[in-house]
């Protein structure tokens, strides 16, 4: 993910067709292998660890927030980080001599930088929650009388 973000940020401000093409082609090279398997695996391992430890899945607010942030990060990673780089690489292949953004109307270059940023921030929030464990325990529900 940081690799995709670095390449997207490098290609974003430039009008040099060679730089844009090279960055877009390089974004597609890692493929889906570094993105697809770890994302659902992190969600599954988090649920297993939450259920198997004293933290529980919904006993503490920070665990509950992590539980909902992880599927969001997984969706951002799997859905957006796999499709956009391949789309950008195909656009670069279709226009080997011209600047991709100038000839590809409707292809927003900034999406290639926004989506990895959002996914990275979601994963970072998960890490911060794991380290600092804010908000304490959720209140116990009392049975209705």
pLDDT tens-digit readout, 21-51 = 888 888 887 766 676 777 788 888 888 988 8
Question: Is residue 108 domain-resident?
Answer: yes
Q: What is the mean pLDDT of residues 106-117?
A: 78
Q: Is residue 43 part of a domain?
A: yes
Banded pLDDT at 143 (limits 50, 70, 90): low
137, part of any domain = no
Quick check: helix, strand or coil at residue 29? coil
Total number of domains in the chain = 1
What's the pLDDT tens digit per position in 16-29?
A: 878 888 888 888 87
Does residue 79 lie within any of the structural domains?
yes
State which residues form the domain around 39. 2-132
Residue 85 falls within a domain, yes or no? yes
**Domain membership flag for residue 144:** no
Residue 46: closest CA among 135, 126, 128, 137:
126
Task: Flag whether the pTM goes above 0.85.
Answer: no
Residue 143 lies in a domain: no
Q: Is the dihedral of CA 55, 57, 63, 66 positive or negative?
A: positive
Residue 114 parent element (H or E): helix 111-132
């Amino acid at each position: 993910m940081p690799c995709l973000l670095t390449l997207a940020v490098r290609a974003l401000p430039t009008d040099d067709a060679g730089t844009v093409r090279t960055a877009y082609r390089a974004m597609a090279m890692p493929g889906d292998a570094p993105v697809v398997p770890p994302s659902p695996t992190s969600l599954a391992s988090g649920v297993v660890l939450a259920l198997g430890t004293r933290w529980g899945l919904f006993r503490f607010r920070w665990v509950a927030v992590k539980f909902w942030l992880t599927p969001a990060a997984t969706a951002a990673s799997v859905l957006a980080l796999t499709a956009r780089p391949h789309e950008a690489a195909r656009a670069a292949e279709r226009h080997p001599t011209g600047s991709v953004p100038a000839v590809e109307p409707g292809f927003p270059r900034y999406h290639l930088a926004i989506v990895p940023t959002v996914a990275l921030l979601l994963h970072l929030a998960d890490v911060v929650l794991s380290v600092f464990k804010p908000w304490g325990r959720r209140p116990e529900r009392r049975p209705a009388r």
